[in-house]
Chains A and B, each alone.
Chain A
Amino acid sequence: MKSRFTSLLVTLFALAFLYIPILTLVMQSFNSSRFGGEWKGFSLKWYEALFNDAAILDATLNTLIIAFCATILSTILGTLSAWALHRFKTKLQEANYTLVYAPLIMPDILMGISLLLLFVSMGADLGLATVVIAHTTFCVSYVAFTVLARLQDFDFSIIQAAQDLGAGWGRIIRQILLPLLWPGIAAGAMMAFTLSMDDFVVTFFVGGPGSTTLPVKVFSMMKHGSPAIINALSVIFMSLTFTVAIAGQIITNKKSHK
């Protein structure tokens, strides 16, 4: 009993440690006081102000456009690279594996600077396109490794069984591969989406005028704008991220338990 009590205590402490800052943020977003701290009554005025701020709405739209494009591109590329990493046995595979793995461990700031250098030396205009490319670059790795995990317990003899029963490749992909790999692909895509939506560092480097995303906007508002609006914005932003992340979890769990 004693140990159960202790573990309960530890759990509560850990939860408090993790979530009190977030709860504070949520509370402050409803505080009518301009600078937070003291509670001056419930108010939705910051949310109102938020939705009347054209620059924030622009940034939201940019963020969503970038996240959608980067997710689609990185899901396709990541799934294909997972397939290539798993199915082909050559001496180059180890190098390929490292290449796909590298973005996972490379510091964001390095990635941001190197991509910026690349874009500048290519003479590319910094904007939505460069941000999408940059996001795709690091998201591919996450998708590739989630799909690869799925492929590792995939029984390839069922592909031969399908061929044996008369199926061509089109049918095998549609009726066997995609349904079975779907949980991995979906989880990878969700992860890519949240990563892209959250990213600040890389976006900060490779973005240009007209491609300001929410994280970048929040950063500049910290310096020049109203912190209270940021609170409201963060709450909305956070709910969205949580929703996507939880949805991803549910899909993977449901499928892997069958």
Chain B
Amino acid sequence: MESFFKLENINKTFGTHRAVYDVSLNVNKGEVFSLLGPSGCGKTTMLRVAAGFEDPESGKVFLDGRDISSLPPNKRKINTVFQNYALFPHLNIYDNIAFGPRIAKIPEPEIEKRVKNMLELIRLEEHAFKRPDQISGGQKQRVAIARALINRPSLLLLDEPLAALDLKLRQHMLLELDRIHDEVGITFIYVTHDQTEAMSLSDRIAVMNKGRIEQIGTPAEIYESPRTKFVAEFIGDTNFFVGKVVERLDGEYCKIDLFGFGEFAFFNESKLDAGANVTISMRPEKFRVYMERPADSAASGMNLIKVKVVDIVYQGAQTNYWVVAGDKRICVRQQHSRCYLDLRQPTWNDEVWIAWHKDDANMLAGVSQNGES
């Protein structure tokens, strides 16, 4: 697919702070593309460059094949949904939404039709003549979305649109956003620091850190196969292990000496040779917990270690066990597909076995050479 929106080698510095380092990205037509990262990672700067509110020191912005780098915000076919909604407080909902089309000098009957459609889309027909301070936060956010969408932009930018809402409302608005995206089919760029939002909504995610993109991929790729330590840690929970490759095994596997645990087989994702240092990321839910040593673990491609339970956090749907092996704490997560009370469960100081499949661990790029933990 050819890229619809493109940022090319963007650099931006504020005073002495370098906000964005030579970042490029391609967004496909119709997709929801998220920029995900902690605050200060440069994601909002990227969005403001896309909207035209910031001039990058270098780099180009392309929309639908056209270089729009030098166009001011009011000349770009891009609209933004601001974090604090930024509704016009002196105009009612109707006039807020009609603001853009009126500038575009669209005839008033046509505007009326479009505003009505938008009000239907955001399900606020009965609030058209209220002022922004008479409606709730979630409703304001929907008005902000309608006000942007009515201009039929090629690209809609959303800057942490749900950050100001409480949890329940946020979950509801996520579904609303998804529905609106399905209905209008416009390309979305969604900026957030919330991994759940990004995972639920996006077709692809770019994880940003310190002004650089660490990884771009689908939500599943980002979660299941993080390329860097930062991505593995920022999205979900994980355990890191360091070790050294002992030898390459048949097929695509290798044997790694995990320091302090012994030697295990792993999928050799980075095609490393013997002697290479590696860092491995293991998600807590990839482990299975056994009260007794399971019999056929080796045969079914599992790696196995004996550990002691030191902490138990029961969360209803799942339990997090903190286990130790030597001086290494490992977080292990068990889903309760059976009733928790009916079965014998590991308790404090129990010696249990944890096992993982040799395909389920993740070799991290970039940090494998220095062997830090």
Contact = CB atoms under 8 A, between A and B. Distances in A.
A171 B102 CA distance: 11
Contacts of A157: 82, 84, 86
Contacts of B103: 165-167, 171
B74 A161 contact: no
Given A166-B100, A166-B103, A161 B80 contact: yes
B176 to A, nearest CB: 20
Contacts of A164: 51, 73-74, 78-80, 148
Contacts of B67: none
Interface in A163-201: 163-168, 171, 176, 179-180
B89 to A, nearest CB: 7
A65 interface: no
Interface string B70-84: 001111001110101
A258 B82 contact: no
A220 to B, nearest CB: 48
A163 to B, nearest CB: 5
Nearest to B103: A166
B4 interface: no
Interface residues of A, number: 17
Contacts of A133: none
Residue in A160, A165, A168, A171 with the greatest tally of chain B CB atoms within 10 Å: A165
- Using C-beta atoms within 8 Å of the partner chain, give the interface range for chain B: 20 to 34
B89 A258 contact: yes
Interface string A149-167: 0000001011011111111
A166 B86 contact: no
A99 B86 CA distance: 33
B53 interface: yes
B100 A155 contact: no
Contact of A160 (B73, B78, B99): B73
B114 to A, nearest CB: 14
B82 A160 contact: yes
B88 interface: yes
B118 to A, nearest CB: 13
B133 interface: yes
B147 interface: yes
Given A164-B51, A164-B80, A165-B151, A180 B89 contact: yes
Interface string B48-65: 000101000000000000
A110 B256 CA distance: 87
Nearest to B144: A161
A168 B88 CA distance: 16
Nearest to B88: A158
Contact of A168 (B74, B79, B104, B148): B74
B86 A179 contact: no
Contacts of A158: 86-89
B133 A258 contact: yes
A179 B90 contact: yes
A44 B79 CA distance: 68
30 contacts: A155-B84, A155-B89, A157-B82, A157-B84, A157-B86, A158-B86, A160-B80, A160-B82, A160-B86, A161-B82, A161-B86, A161-B88, A161-B147, A162-B99, A163-B53, A163-B74, A164-B78, A164-B80, A165-B74, A165-B79, A165-B100, A165-B103, A165-B147, A165-B151, A166-B74, A166-B151, A167-B99, A171-B103, A179-B90, A180-B90
Interface of B: 51, 53, 72-75, 78-80, 82, 84, 86-90, 99-100, 103-104, 131, 133, 147-148, 151
